[in-house]
Structure 1
Amino acid sequence: MSTVQTDHASATPGPRILLYSDDVDVRQQVRLAVGRRLRRGAPDIEWVEVATGPAVITRVEAGGLDLLILDGEADKVGGMGLARQLKDEIYRCPPTMVLTGRPQDAWLASWSNADAVVSRPLDPVVLHDAVAAIIETPAVTR
């Protein structure tokens, strides 16, 4: 008689993170820095990548996202303005993280009502830990 062990981590859906940047290289850097999952044995992250501001709004309105990572340096529609708009207009907007061009831009990111700010150059440990802290914090305490 053989027993089949199920992997509970794969049975549980992982976090859904919307990643916005008009630059495919930035999106790739973020995915690589954060990694495939938040912790060993945790379910895989489901990345929802978008390259335009209107696509972000459409996806957020559809719901089902655990975190928004928005590129503050994106052309046409920057992540900081988009974060502020989403926080003002979307009921129960998911937590947002803004990527800034430099550490000195953190004050501006605070205007956006972002829940977290990470500056470039992206440090994989800092970015991963910031994402994990937001995802693993119960929604009640946010």
Structure 2
Amino acid sequence: MSSPDAHEPLNVLVFSHRAEVREAITMAVGRRPAPDLGRVRYVEAGGMAEVLRAMDGGTIDLAILDGEAQPTGGMGVSRQLKNEIDDCPPIIVTVRRRDDRWLATWSQADAVIVHPLDPLTSAETVADVLRRSRSGELPALRG
């Protein structure tokens, strides 16, 4: 995992089998989630092979995974990545219902954001997770 700073672009993996969900995530987070962080460069993945290839490349600073993705949901993907990748980048899972946030605990995600995605909350969550990752703190589940 690379170390983000305000001058280097951040590589954010966005996974969903649906292009419109990937677009909603990228639009909600934006190109610069906070002034103290670098600009975001999105790496989109529509399937597991793309997710694994991107994560194995070692250049992803953060992954945002669609909890409703098919056939493999983002929560299962999160759990797999957290258990299989040493020094796994932080992961945020999106969920459709606020009541599903508890599932993110099982998935070992670092944070959760709830649809419909609020741009302010989404950007703040991404910025918080990236800052905590940079400082070496384990992010507290939030969202």
TM-score (norm 1): 0.87
Aligned partner of 1:109 in structure 2 is: 104
Assess if the C-alpha contact under 8 Å between 1:102 and 1:121 holds in 2. no
Aligned residues, how many? 132
Which structure would you say has the larger Rg? 1
Aligned partner of 2:17 in structure 1 is: 22
- Residues 60, 109 of structure 1: CA spacing in aligned structure 2 closer, same or farther, 3 A cutoff? same
List structure 1 runs of 4+ shifted beyond 4 angstroms. Answer: none
TM-score (norm 2): 0.86
Asked if residue 64 in structure 1 is aligned to residue 59 in structure 2, the reply is yes
- Residues 139, 92 of structure 1: CA spacing in aligned structure 2 closer, same or farther, 3 A cutoff? farther
Aligned partner of 2:68 in structure 1 is: 73
Task: Report the RMSD for the aligned CA atoms in angstroms.
Answer: 1.4
Aligned partner of 1:97 in structure 2 is: 92
Aligned partner of 1:37 in structure 2 is: 32
Taking only the aligned residue pairs, the percentage that are identical comes to 40
Secondary structure in structure 2 of the residue aligned to 1:108: helix
Query: Which range moved further: 31-40 or 86-95?
Result: 31-40
Question: Which structure 2 residue ranges, 5 or more long, are not aligned?
Answer: 1-5, 139-143
Query: Which range moved further: 69-78 or 130-139?
Result: 130-139
Q: Which amino acid aligns with 1:140?
A: G
Assess if the C-alpha contact under 8 Å between 2:34 and 2:123 holds in 1. no
Assess if the C-alpha contact under 8 Å between 1:101 and 1:120 holds in 2. yes
Secondary structure in structure 1 of the residue aligned to 2:89: coil
Using the alignment, how far apart are the partners of 2:26 and 2:16 within structure 1?
A: 12
How many angstroms does 1:51 deviate by? 0.3
